[in-house]
Amino acid sequence: MEVLQCYTEASGQIINKEKSSLYFGAKCSRQQLRKLAICTNIPGRHEFGKYLGITADFGASKKAVFEGVKEALEGRINGWAEQFLSPTGKEVLIKAVAMALPNYAMSCFKLLMGLCKELESAIANFWWRGNKDKGGMHWVSWQKMKRSKKTSRLGFQDLLAFNLSYLAKIGWQLLLNHGTLLGQILKAKYFPDRPFLEAKIRRRSSWGR
C-alpha cells in the first residue's frame, strides 16, 4: 500500500479501488485472500478477468482468449439484423463498427487465421441476409467484396492483413525507438544478444506479448 501511495503522489493519479482487484494463485488459501482484501480494501480473485473485452490470462488457449471478440461482434450483428437497413446503412455499420471492434485485439496480438475467417463470415452473412431469421444468398464472394472501391467493389477490410499491418507497425516502432520502455523490456526478454529482426521464437515465449 505504501508503494501504491508513492505512485499516487508521484503521478497525481488516484487508484480506483472499486475497479481494482488482487490476483492470487491457486495455492493461496481463501483465508489469506480474505485477510489481504480487508487490509487493502481491494477485492481479491483467483482469475484475471477481462480487459477491454479480452481475457487477461494469456496462459489460456488463444481460442479461449479471443472468444470474447467473436461474441461481441456477433452480438452487435444480431442486434442490427432486427432492423430494416439499406445496403448503404449496412456498409456504414460494418466499416465503422463491426470491423472496428477487433481493433484493440489486432493491435496487440496475432489473431488465429480461423478466427479472422469466422469474423469475416459473420459479417458476410449479415450483409447478405434479409433479416434475423432469414439467411440470404451470397451472390459475390467475400474475397471480391474486400477489393478496393476503385475496382467497383465494396472495399471491406481484410482482417488478417489488417492484423499483420498493426503488428508490423509495432515492429517498425521497435526498430526506430528501441530505447522505449516497451523496447527495452522486449529486448531484455526475447532478443538480448541480437537485433530485433534476428529475434527467434523461444520455447517459453509468450504469444501474448
Tell me whether residue 191 is in a domain.
no
Mean pLDDT, to the nearest integer, of 81-105?
74
**What is the structure's pLDDT at 174?**
83
Q: Looking at the 3D structure of the chain, how many domains does it have?
A: 2
Pair (85, 110) in one structural domain: yes
Pair (25, 101) in one structural domain: no
Pair (18, 74) in one structural domain: no
**What is the structure's pLDDT at 80?**
74
Tell me whether residue 82 is in a domain.
yes
Tell me whether residue 170 is in a domain.
no
Tell me whether residue 127 is in a domain.
yes
Pair (8, 68) in one structural domain: no
What is the helix (H) or strand (E) element at residue 54, kind and residue range? strand 54-55
Distance in angstroms (rounded) separating the CA atoms of residues 71 and 131: 19
Pair (154, 72) in one structural domain: yes
Tell me whether residue 180 is in a domain.
no
**What is the structure's pLDDT at 188?**
85
* Residue range(s) defining the domain that contains residue 23: 2-46
Q: Which three cell numbers stand for residue 62?
A: 488463444
Distance in angstroms (rounded) separating the CA atoms of residues 98 and 102: 8
Mean pLDDT, to the nearest integer, of 21-41?
81
Pair (74, 128) in one structural domain: yes
Tell me whether residue 13 is in a domain.
yes
**What is the structure's pLDDT at 49?**
65
Pair (34, 119) in one structural domain: no
Pair (72, 140) in one structural domain: yes
Residue 16 CA to its chain's centroid (Å) = 24
**What is the structure's pLDDT at 51?**
66
Pair (67, 22) in one structural domain: no
Tell me whether residue 196 is in a domain.
no
Pair (38, 70) in one structural domain: no
Task: Of 63-72, 152-161, 179-188, give the range with the top mean pLDDT.
Answer: 179-188
- Collapse the DSSP code of 195 into the 3-class scheme (helix H, G, I; strand E, B; otherwise coil) and give the result: coil
Distance in angstroms (rounded) separating the CA atoms of residues 18 and 27: 25
Pair (115, 35) in one structural domain: no
Pair (151, 88) in one structural domain: yes
Distance in angstroms (rounded) separating the CA atoms of residues 207 and 63: 12
Tell me whether residue 190 is in a domain.
no
